[in-house]
Structure 1
Amino acid sequence: MFNVLSSINWLGVAAAFIAYFLLGAMWYLGLFPKPYRASLGKENEPDTGQNQQLLYIVGPAVCALIITITCAVLLSALHINTYGNALRFALVVGVGYLFTNTVNIAINPNIPRPFFYGLITGSYHLVGMVLVNLLLVAL
């Protein structure tokens, strides 16, 4: 069932990964930089350029790539090849795993506003899953 690596469109994986990664840059640097900082309790701290460090660029990129490849494997193994099924799959994975796990991880003493953080970051992953899975089916 999971011997599908040879049937995956790797160009589609690359395109979906790039879209997911760029969505993250747009999400955190363009659309929600202030709310994101507030969710971390850092709204009154000066921006130290921490987001420009290599770890904060490469780490999310590697994670987005692994998530994208995993989606490609599952789409292929489950024979999901229509937009409607890809959307349903994206919502199940996006809400059931990524959004929920993001909130769960945020519930700790180091995140002062865990549900706000979960809303911002979980929503990014949910939108990302829709984008990734629709692209994987399209390509």
Structure 2
Amino acid sequence: MEFTEICRYCGGVIRAVPARNVYGPAVNRLGLQKEYIYQCQNCNARVGCHKGTLRPLGNVANETLRLKRMETHRVFDAFWKRKGMSRTKGYQWLAGQMGLPERLTHIGGFEMDQCQKVIDLCRKFEHEEAA
């Protein structure tokens, strides 16, 4: 995933900032004391980093997309766990279902339509299994 320092929403500058700047005192509860987040200085679009690195988890997202990605993670994580899959196997299954290479199958890089497709796939597969 390629990372840009220019915000795709407003054209503002994106900088790595300590997670504390975004989450305030909650940073301790979240275990992000030493972590960084890339954040647009204008519109607050942001993306977290892989633990202990400055490597982004995906691409910057506005609040609407961040909420959709969180919903998608809740549905997908519950799905692969209920199906007795490992996280890795779950993502392999998802890559196959979406017709994507595994290296590009990360919810943190998905757009709204891709997030909805993940949710729909999980619900469809559960429904077919139950029928």
Query: TM exceeds 0.5?
Result: no
- TM-score using structure 1 length: 0.31
Q: Which has the higher helix share?
A: 1
Q: Which has the higher contact order (CA 8 A, sep 6+)?
A: 1
Q: Which has the higher strand share?
A: 2
